[in-house]
């Protein structure tokens, strides 16, 4: 139990006793007042007023008057319908310092619980380029994995990649028909993406070519040797590119699922659905699941020519996942919001099949450019590698201007740390259901709601501790009285575990990103306004402990977002 949880539970018990009437009060009902001058915690007496048939203000006044003196609460005061509580500064600060510094890198993590969650993300399609739009999926999925683990659950992170289907047929058709014998460039994954975009344009300009592409897809599904060999070779090009990108972004997966491994089981499953009366033949000969009575329309599960669809394969995938990992309680699918209806149809069809496992679609909106939305099909994308290189180059240029004495190796390492922080934080600071227009200059700024701003706050605190260490001072815990500025920073630090738990529960890393930005602001204010190394010995020891605790919070929070916390910038 955290310091803040313990205090809230103690206050809730005292309030319930002070109010009387068998009123039950939970720790969650104690919240921060909108203005710090109103106190540190507040309890609204509205539910109690309803139960006791009294006015909230009357109950608040009586409860405040009856609230006993406690170790952590300095004052209880009625303010209208609220009981506002002011914490004892030295006692609270000392408890938080002990908690944060003793927990270290594990601060904010909840005790382990008996829950195993599968999180599926990192799903780029082979034979297409990885672009900035995919980056949001990777950043969101990684952060949700980290947060879910911090909340105490065991997590099985997996991917599900589209390595067969119409897009592959289109790419390989174009490659073989128009580019046979061409020398291969070094970046083969990017080359395939360009071929795919070209193929799409050709088919749009001449619809008669659609049948050629459809024929290639049938040959691929039939595993004709020459097409199968080409597919395997080009698939490997894409998978090698994906693996390199995943490594540099810290994406670690326990299992890679592929559409190709569930295609045949999916076709068999659909035929079984027909036999069971769950699926039927539609007007144009395709196999469908009629979900109209559930207000979900018609779910297409197999093409009229027998070719598979996403749905064909994903129906089989669901069973495979829970068979391989029988202990998982739910499967979370991190997929963009365009697929929302599809997942509703998929989950309902699985339910009709008797599949009773919990499935969740974590939808996110697009990453857009100033010119509009990106599309692999249209070719108007920014490739991830090009984007990454540009962000890193700008970060290196700015770092070199500040650190003229650093080696190239050190500049490169720091530039990547800053660039990665800018990219990931930029993808996570918005709620998943909000679109992002990514601006490189804004994302790299050391001021404002950015990753580098939070990283820089960590680096500034690290500089204080580094100088203290050089001077032979470690900043031991000290239980003396501090001032209000120290308390303000530690009060915010005490909120960190609750923020992590909330971000995990709602799968919203943006909650943590917002908290880290505000905490970084408070840390920078402390750095600017409060003497630490120049303070008197007792104050210096205590303030060094406050600095260490604040740095721990920033480091833990950044780690949960998949971002490194640099010592220097």
Q: Are 108 and 99 in contact (CB under 8 A)?
A: no
381's CB contacts (< 8 A; 6+ apart) are 129, 131, 132, 133, 193, 374, 375
pLDDT (mean) for 532-538: 91
**What interhelical angle do 210-221 and 188-205 show, nearest 10?**
130
Q: At residue 389, does pLDDT exceed 80? A: yes
pLDDT (mean) for 382-411: 93
pLDDT band at 307 (very low <50, low <70, confident <90, very high): confident
Q: Is 125 helix (H, G, I), strand (E, B) or coil?
A: coil
Rounded CA separation 474/457 (Å): 20
Q: Are 411 and 395 in contact (CB under 8 A)?
A: no
Q: How many CB atoms lie within 10 A of CB 12?
A: 18
Closest CA to 176 of 158, 154, 195: 195
Q: Which residues pair with 424 in a beta bridge?
A: none
250's CB contacts (< 8 A; 6+ apart) are 142, 562
Q: What is the pLDDT at residue 369?
A: 62
User: CA–CA distance from 479 to each of 248, 419, 490, 541, 548 (Å)?
Assistant: 43, 40, 13, 10, 15
Rounded CA separation 142/562 (Å): 7
pLDDT, tens digit, 9 for 90 and up, residues 462-492: 999 999 998 877 655 555 568 899 999 999 9
Q: At residue 362, does pLDDT exceed 90? A: yes
pLDDT (mean) for 519-547: 94
Q: What is the pLDDT at residue 374?
A: 44
**Share of residues in the chain with pLDDT > 90 (%):** 87
Q: What is the pLDDT at residue 383?
A: 84
Rounded CA separation 506/488 (Å): 27
pTM above 0.85? yes
pLDDT (mean) for 49-69: 96
Q: At residue 376, does pLDDT exceed 50? A: no
What strands, in cross-sheet order, belong to the sheet with 30-31?
30-31, 41-44, 82-87, 73-79
Strand boundaries in 41-179, DSSP class E: 41-44, 73-79, 82-87, 116-120, 154-161
pLDDT (mean) for 293-311: 94
pLDDT averaged over every residue in the chain:
94
All structural domains of the chain, each given as residue ranges with its CATH number in brackets, are 3-87 (3.30.1360.70), 260-327 (no CATH), 398-560 (1.10.730.10)
Q: How distant is the alpha carbon of residue 527 from its chain centre? A: 29
Q: Which residues pair with 157 in a beta bridge?
A: 119
Q: At residue 379, does pLDDT exceed 70? A: no
Q: At residue 104, does pLDDT exceed 90? A: yes
């Amino acid at each position: 139990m955290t310091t803040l949880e313990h205090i809230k539970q103690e206050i809730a018990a005292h309030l319930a006793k002070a109010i009387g009437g068998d009123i039950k009060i939970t720790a969650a009902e104690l919240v921060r007042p909108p203005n710090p001058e109103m106190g540190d915690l507040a309890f609204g007496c509205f539910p109690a007023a309803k139960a006791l048939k009294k006015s909230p203000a009357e109950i608040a006044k009586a409860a405040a008057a009856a609230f006993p003196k406690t170790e952590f609460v300095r004052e209880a005061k009625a303010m209208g319908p609220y009981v506002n509580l002011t914490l004892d500064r030295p006692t609270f600060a000392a408890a938080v310092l002990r908690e944060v510094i003793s927990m270290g890198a594990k601060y904010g993590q909840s005790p382990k619980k008996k829950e195993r969650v599968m999180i599926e993300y990192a799903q780029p399609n082979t034979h297409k380029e990885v672009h900035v739009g995919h980056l949001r999926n990777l950043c969101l999925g990684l952060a949700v994995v980290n947060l879910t683990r911090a909340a105490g659950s065991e997590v099985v992170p997996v991917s599900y990649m589209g390595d067969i289907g119409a897009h592959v047929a289109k790419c390989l058709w174009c490659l073989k028909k128009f580019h046979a014998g061409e020398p291969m460039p070094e970046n083969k994954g990017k080359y395939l993406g360009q071929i795919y975009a070209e193929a799409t344009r050709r088919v749009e300009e001449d619809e008669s070519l659609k049948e050629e592409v459809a024929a290639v897809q049938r040959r691929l599904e039939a595993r004709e040797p020459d097409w199968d060999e080409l597919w395997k070779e080009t698939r490997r090009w894409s998978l090698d590119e994906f693996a390199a990108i995943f490594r540099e972004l810290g994406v670690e997966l326990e299992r890679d699922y592929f559409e190709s491994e569930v295609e045949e089981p999916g076709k068999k499953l659909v035929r079984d659905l027909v036999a069971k009366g769950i699926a039927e033949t539609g007007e144009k000969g395709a196999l469908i699941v009629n979900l109209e009575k559930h207000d979900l329309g018609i779910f297409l599960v197999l093409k009229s020519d027998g070719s598979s669809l996403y749905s064909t394969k994903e129906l089989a995938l669901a069973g495979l996942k829970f068979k391989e990992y029988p202990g998982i309680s739910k499967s979370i699918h991190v997929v963009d919001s365009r697929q929302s209806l599809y997942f509703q149809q998929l989950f309902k069809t699985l339910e009709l099949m008797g599949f009773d496992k919990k499935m969740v679609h974590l939808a996110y909106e697009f990453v857009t450019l100033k010119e509009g939305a990106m599309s692999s099909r249209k070719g108007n994308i920014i490739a991830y590698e090009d984007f990454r290189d540009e962000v890193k180059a700008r970060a290196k240029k700015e770092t070199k201007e500040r650190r003229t004495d650093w080696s190239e190796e050190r500049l490169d390492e720091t530039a990547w740390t800053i660039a990665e922080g800018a990219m990931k934080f930029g993808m996570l600071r918005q709620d998943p259901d909000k679109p992002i227009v990514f601006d490189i200059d804004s994302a790299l700024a050391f001021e404002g709601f950015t990753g580098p701003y939070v990283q820089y706050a960590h680096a500034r605190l690290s500089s204080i501790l580094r100088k203290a260490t050089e001077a032979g001072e470690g900043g031991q815990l000290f239980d003396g009285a501090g001032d209000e500025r120290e308390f303000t920073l530690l009060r915010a630090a005490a909120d960190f575990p609750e923020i992590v738990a909330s971000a995990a529960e709602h799968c919203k890393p943006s909650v943590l990103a917002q908290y880290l930005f505000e905490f970084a602001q408070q840390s920078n204010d402390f750095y600017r306004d409060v003497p630490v190394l120049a303070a008197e010995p007792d104050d210096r020891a205590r303030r060094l402990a406050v600095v260490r605790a604040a740095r721990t919070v920033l480091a833990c929070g950044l780690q949960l977002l998949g971002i490194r916390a640099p010592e220097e910038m």
